[in-house]
Amino acid sequence: MGLIQNILAVIVVLGLLVTFHEFGHFWVARRCGVKVLRFSVGFGKPLWSRVDRHGTEFAIAAIPLGGYVKMLDEREAPVPDEQLDQAFNRKSVWQRIAVVAAGPVANFLLAIVAYWALFVAGTTAVAPMVGETVPNSPAAEAGLAHGDEITAIQGEAVSNWEAVNLKLVSMIGFTGELTIEARPQGESNAVAYQLSLRDYMTRQDPPQPLETLGLTPWQPDVPATLGQVIEGEAAAEAGLQVGDRIIAVDEQPIADWMDFVNVIRGSPDEALTVAVERDGQRQTTTLTPSRNSLETGVEIGYIGAGAEPVEWPEEYQREIRYGPLEAVGQSLSRTADMTLLTVDAIRKMLVGLISPSNLSGPVTIAQISGDSARAGLEAFVSFLAYLSISLGVLNLLPIPVLDGGHLLYYFLEIVRGRPVSEQTQAIGLRIGLAMVGTLMLMALYFDLMRLW
C-alpha cells in the first residue's frame, strides 16, 4: 500500500508541476502569435488527446515523468508559407525569451499561490524549544540549555523549527561565530549565545544542522503505542496492530517510544519477544527487525512502524496565519527565500561544500511525495511548492536543452546582433544532453543507494 501511495503521490505532484510549467510556455506562445502544435503531459504514446479550434493537440501520454509543448518551427519541419508568421523561429528575440522564460516563471507563480493558500488557511508550527544539549558540543559550550526558546539566528528572527533549520542549512560551510538568540525558560528577554564553528556541515550526507550544533528539540513524552504499521514489514508480519501498546521486549520493560526504538535499532535480525497490551489484554509475539543500512554505513534494526501521534502543549505551538493581502507579501518572501536557498545549495555543491550524494531523483521524490501526502494536506502543499521552486531554478540553469540554455543563446544573440550559429547550438545540445544525462544517472544512483 505504501508503494502504491508513493507512486500515486509522485504522479500527482509531477503532473501538476509539469502541467503548470508547460502551460506557462503555451500561454505566452499563444499571446506572441506562435502556433502550438501539441501540449503533452507525459511522454510516449498518448492515452488521450483532443484537438482544439486552433489546431493544437492536447494529450496525456503514458510516461508521466515530464511533458512538452511543441511549437511550429522551421528548424524542426517545413512550414507552409501562409503560416511562417506563426513559426517560433520567426518571432523577435524578446518574444522567444518571453516564451522560454514563461515555464520557470509559472513554477514560481505556483509556489507563490501554494504558500499564499497555506498562510491564509493558517498553519501550526512547533516552537523552537531546546530539549537537551550534547556535552562538549558547540551549543553546550555556548551556554544553551534545556527550555531555551530560540528567537533569532544571525540576527534573523525565527519562530519555529522549520525556520531554524532553513536558516542553518543556508549556512553550510560557515566558519566563525554563529550568533543564536534564545529566551531562557521563564524569562522575557532573549540572550545572545556565540557558537564557534568551522566548516559547518561541510560535505555532510545528509546535512544535520541541529545535531552538528549538539541541539535536540524539545518534544513531549511519546508513549510506546503504535500509530502506524506498514504492510509487508517486520511489525506487520509479527501481527502487531495500530493501537498496540508495547509493554516489554525480552521481558525488559519499555518506558516510552524512544526506549522501544533504541531496542529495535540495536537488534537487526534478532528474534525478540514483544509483550503488548491490546484491548486491555496482554499478548506476546515474536518480532524480528530487518537489517537497514544508513548512509553512514551503520546497520540498524527496522520494523516498519510509527508511534501514535501525541498532542503538543499549547505553549509549545505557534500559529502562522495572515490576512489575504498580508499573505501575498509573505508568500512572495517565502518563495524568494526558498529560491535563494536552492541557488545557494547548487553553488555550494559545485564548489564542494555539499556532497553530490545529496542529489535526489525520482525514487526519493516519490518517497517524499508519499510521506507528505500521508502527513496531511499542509505538508503535501508545502512540498509541492518547494519542488515547484526547485524545478523552476533547475530549468533556468544555463545548460543547453534546458530553458536556461535557450535563454543564454538568446541573450548572446542580443549582444552579438545575430543568432548563435546552428553548429554551435548543435554542439551545445550534445554537451547539454551529456550533462543532464549524467546528473540524472547520479541522482538515480544515490536514490538506489539510499534504498539499499
* Cα distance from N-terminal residue to C-terminal residue, the chain: 20
Cα dihedral 421, 426, 431, 432 in deg (nearest 10): 90
The residue among 59, 39, 41, 40 whose CA lies nearest residue 49 is: 59
> Grid coordinates in use for 188?
522575557
Give catalytic status of residue 82 as yes or no: no
Q: Quick one: the chain helix, strand, coil %, rounded to 5?
A: 45, 25, 30
The residue among 422, 451, 339, 421 whose CA lies nearest residue 387 is: 339
Q: Which residue has the cell 542529489?
A: 359
Q: What are the Cα distances from residue 300, in Å, to 187, 248, 263, 267? A: 41, 20, 10, 7
**Alpha-carbon gap, residue 224 to 234, rounded angstroms:** 17
In which element (H, E) is residue 390 found?
helix 377-395
**Alpha-carbon gap, residue 409 to 163, rounded angstroms:** 38
Residues 6+ apart with CB under 8 A from 430: none
In which element (H, E) is residue 451 found?
helix 422-451
Choose the catalytic residue: 22, 141, 251, 326: 22
Q: Find out whether 163 and 154 touch, Cβ atoms under 8 Å.
A: no
**Alpha-carbon gap, residue 313 to 296, rounded angstroms:** 35
The residue among 418, 316, 331 whose CA lies nearest residue 116 is: 331
DSSP sequence for 308-337: PP-PPPGGGEEEE---HHHHHHHHHHHHHH
Residues 6+ apart with CB under 8 A from 408: 398, 400
The residue among 438, 436, 435, 447 whose CA lies nearest residue 360 is: 447
Residues 6+ apart with CB under 8 A from 210: 164, 165, 168, 216, 217
The residue among 286, 292, 239 whose CA lies nearest residue 268 is: 292
Phi, psi of 125 (to 5 degrees): -115, 160
Paired residues of 180 in beta bridges: 153, 193
Positions marked active-site? 22
